[in-house]
């Protein structure tokens, strides 16, 4: 987990009620949202590796993170930890694209379009031409999360996400699914899907699917 103080409604990766199975959390102190999204995230890699090892020692069977911009950590964390790792929802784009009709693609909704670099996309095997929409410049969401505010207006945050998603889908008719880069966007996934008519994927849907897969494999091995 990043070092945050903003509220986390149900649906957010940091709210235990988001999941129907037990979860544990470790905060990486000093890893504030703006520093990770807009700064040098790799400076914090050793601290994330340490936190991952601590979680595994406490019984974790799967490791994820609370920021989509940690996609560049995927290979390194996966190599260091003895359990499956899903650092970012951006890791889902490749498989989503593979299952879409020819000529259609996934689009990305991000908290910071100005921070989406070719290197970030490459780290998650996301095609460089992938359409990207952003809540940057909105009334509440980006400023509240990157500013790590202790309180913000969920209604305005939802509106920022819906408006940005509609702009993305309207500007790119080839977009057949939306991937929410930011883990804090997941509480608004239903509103985004309703407004755009498109399926919406997030770190939460990715973690739930991977956990179900691991449970299925465990049952098969036991049987």
SS3 of 154-168: the string is HHHHHHHHHHHHHHH
pLDDT tens per residue across span 12-57: 999 999 999 999 999 999 999 999 999 889 999 999 999 999 999 9
Q: What is the DSSP letter of 174?
A: T
To the question of pTM greater than 0.85 for the whole model, the response is yes
What is the rounded CA–CA span in Å between residue 139 and residue 160? Answer: 7
Tell me the domains of the chain and their CATH numbers.
89-204 (3.40.50.1860)
pLDDT tens per residue across span 139-150: 999 999 999 999
């Amino acid at each position: 987990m990043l070092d945050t103080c903003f509220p986390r409604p149900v649906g957010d990766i940091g709210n235990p009620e988001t999941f129907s199975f037990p979860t544990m959390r470790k905060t990486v102190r000093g890893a504030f949202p703006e520093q990770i999204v807009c700064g040098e995230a790799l400076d914090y890699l050793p601290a994330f590796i340490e936190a991952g090892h601590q979680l595994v020692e406490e019984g974790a069977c799967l490791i994820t993170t609370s920021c989509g911009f940690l996609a560049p950590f995927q290979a390194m964390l996966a190599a260091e930890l003895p359990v499956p790792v899903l650092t970012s929802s951006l890791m889902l784009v490749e498989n989503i694209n593979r299952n879409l009709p020819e000529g259609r693609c996934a689009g990305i909704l991000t908290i910071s379009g100005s921070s989406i670099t070719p290197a970030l996309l490459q780290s998650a095997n996301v095609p460089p031409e992938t359409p990207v929409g952003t809540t940057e410049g909105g009334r509440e969401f980006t400023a509240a999360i990157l500013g790590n505010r202790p309180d913000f207006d969920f209604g305005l945050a939802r509106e920022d996400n819906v408006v940005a998603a509609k702009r993305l889908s309207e500007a790119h008719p080839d977009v057949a699914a939306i991937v929410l880069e930011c883990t804090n966007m997941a509480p608004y996934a239903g509103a985004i899907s309703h407004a755009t008519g498109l399926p919406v994927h997030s770190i939460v849907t990715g973690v739930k699917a991977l956990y179900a897969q691991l449970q299925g494999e465990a049952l098969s091995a036991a049987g």
